[in-house]
Amino acid sequence: MRVILAQPRGFCAGVVRAIEIVERALLTFGPPVYVRHEIVHNRHVVDSLKAKGARFVEDLSEVPPQAVTIFSAHGVARAVEEEAERRGLNVIDATCPLVSKVHNQANRYVRDARQLILIGHAGHPEVEGTKGRIPVPVHLVQTEADVARLDIPRDTPIAYVTQTTLSVDDTRGIIAALELKFSDVVGPDTRDICYATQNRQSAVRELCKLADVLLVVGASNSSNSNRLREIGADSGIPSYLIADGSELRPEWVRDARTVGITAGASAPETLVENVIDALAQLDKVDISTMAGRIEDIEFKLPASLANWNPSKAATA
Ligand code: SF4
């Protein structure tokens, strides 16, 4: 069985930064440190940080006063920040800088007196965070049908922003529907929203031309991993989202000559290796990596952790 790995795949700079923030906070301040929501959507990552002393909570009321509290990469609403301040929590913000960029852009549009459309999935923490940072009501749309239902006069100035991990193809259709329905629409170039989403989606499209089956390593609640699986299915090959090798079903790959593997932005490479090991239990595997973009983007750490000194932390 040939196994071709997508390039790029797996961790993005925002996820690397968020995990490093928790690890440095644990070493700098000592456990426990509290993390609001899963720092990134991957159980293996969360479990390994738990083992080091991180405590994950969904609500700040679960955090003791003054405790070190980290906001996840998905971002938080202003009200959450204000509650943390009221309770005197020592906050470190691991919001991905590209998510913060969307927040800033959305607020600029609102200051320009435009009605704001947020293209994203209801209930996703990033969407909740973005909505909660805009001081006026936001129209959330998930589909072109949602655009048709918007009850806003045609000549109203409109702006849109999108969840960072959506499929570029999906958003293209929604943006086209907005431009058809309204006469004055502005928004960012969706290809520039998140380099990692764009690169992983482009790579998986190429990979699907080479593979008979696609395995996407990622968590079921990971938005970008779900989008990668959808792109595989839209390309016409059976495509499965798989958390790790234990979930591999032999019938998925029984007739495949070439299996393509990619991984969502929150899935560590060890899980890709784990899936390859599971394939190797079924057949002899010949592994290669497709040609693709090499990413070298890094995001700066928050100032409170940037000057962290490992030797000092070890003795602290
Ligand atoms: S997928 Fe993009 S926006 Fe999300 S954490 Fe990674 S780099 Fe940031």
Q: How far apart are CA 41 and CA 250, in angstroms?
A: 26
Q: Which atom of ligand 1 is nearest to the CA of 12?
A: 6
As given in the structure block, the two tokens for residue 145 are 């049908």
- pLDDT tens digits for 93-149? 999 999 999 999 999 999 999 999 999 999 999 999 999 999 999 999 999 999 999
Per-residue pLDDT at 308 = 57
313: confidence class by pLDDT, cuts 50, 70, 90: very low
pLDDT band at 311 (very low <50, low <70, confident <90, very high): low
Asked if 17 and 92 count as a contact pair (C-beta separation under 8 A), the reply is: no
Q: How far is CA 262 from CA 222, 228, 245, in A?
A: 14, 8, 13
Compute the distance between CA of residue 172 and CA of residue 143 in angstroms, rounded to an integer.
Answer: 11
Question: Residue 142 C-alpha to ligand 1 middle, in angstroms?
Answer: 19
Q: How do beta strands 258-263 and 239-242 pair?
A: unpaired
259 CA distance to ligand 1 middle (Å): 26
How far is ligand 1, taken at its centre, from the CA of residue 280, in Å? 31
Query: How high is the mean pLDDT of the chain?
Result: 94
Answer whether 0.85 is exceeded by the pTM: yes
pLDDT at 302 over 80: yes
Name the residue of 162, 194, 201, 222 to mutate for ligand 1: max ligand atoms within 8 A of Cβ. 194
> Active-site residue 126, yes or no?
yes
Rounded Cα distance between 14 and 194, Å, is 10
Nearest residue by C-alpha to atom 5 in ligand 1: 14
* List of residues 6+ apart from 258 with CB closer than 8 A: 1, 2, 3, 4, 210, 211, 212, 213
Q: How far is the CA of 155 from the centre of ligand 1 (A)?
A: 34
**Look-up of token digits 């998925």:** 252
pLDDT confidence of 310, banded at 50, 70, 90? low
Ligand 1 cavity residues, CB under 6 Å = 12-15, 73, 96, 98-99, 164-165, 194, 196-197, 224, 265
The verdict on whether omega for the bond into residue 157 sits within 30 degrees of 0, i.e. cis, is no
Catalytic residue among 126, 128, 247, 269: 126
| Closest C-alpha residue for ligand 1 atom 2 | 194
Which residue's alpha carbon is nearest to atom 8 within ligand 1?
14
pLDDT, tens digit, 9 for 90 and up, residues 164-214: 998 887 799 999 999 999 999 999 987 778 999 999 999 999 999 999 999
180 contacts: CB under 8 Å, gap ≥ 6: none
Q: Do 305 and 92 contact (CB within 8 A), yes or no?
A: yes
User: Are 76 and 54 spatial neighbours (Cβ–Cβ below 8 Å)?
Assistant: no
Indicate which residue's Cα is closest to atom 6 of ligand 1. 14
Measured CA to CA, the distance from residue 24 to residue 304 in angstroms comes to: 10
